[in-house]
Amino acid sequence: MGREDLLKKVPIFSELGRRDIERLAKLMVPRPVKTGEVIINENDQAAGFFIIVSGKVEAVRGADGPHAQVLASFGPGDFFGEMALFEGFPRSATVRAVEDTECLAMTRWDFTAEMKNHPEIAVAMLPILVRRLREADARLAE
């Protein structure tokens, strides 16, 4: 599966046109990760977004403590860290490879520069982000 296809499956990019997806795909950098290697650390400043091409990773809260909690596992086609494209708040979990993994990574700085050069990307993403906020708000109200 190509970079464009992987990006199109990420909800925040799902409504972007072909040209915008191609622009963003060019920002993605391959990142091989060995089994046991940490991709992001809990509480570090968020700076990037990742899509898994192959392999498997897990998100763990309290990974360095005695009561580590696995929050989720991700495999090919899955993604994590997308909110880091918009803000640099500390990461809420550690993500580590549970097998050799190939990721594609995009930094917040590259993404922001692309949005400044092509503001139509941001405009196309706004309805998606608002819909996600509404869905989160509805879940909290339940």
Domain 3-141 has CATH 2.60.120.10: yes
Q: Give residue 17's pLDDT.
A: 93
Q: Give residue 8's pLDDT.
A: 92
| Full-model pTM | 0.86
In angstroms, the CA 86 to CA 89 distance is 9
Q: Give residue 62's pLDDT.
A: 84
Please list, in sequence order, all residues whose beta carbon lies within 8 angstroms of the beta carbon of residue 105, skipping any fewer than 6 positions away: 28, 29, 30, 31, 48, 49, 50
Q: Where are the domains of the chain?
A: 3-141
In angstroms, the CA 136 to CA 71 distance is 18
Mean pLDDT of successive 10-residue stretches along the chain, which has 142 residues = 90 91 96 96 90 96 86 93 85 94 96 93 88 82 81
**Six-digit token pair at 40?**
């992001």
In angstroms, the CA 32 to CA 102 distance is 4
DSSP 8-state code for residue 125: H
For the chain, how big is the Rg over CA atoms in Å? 15
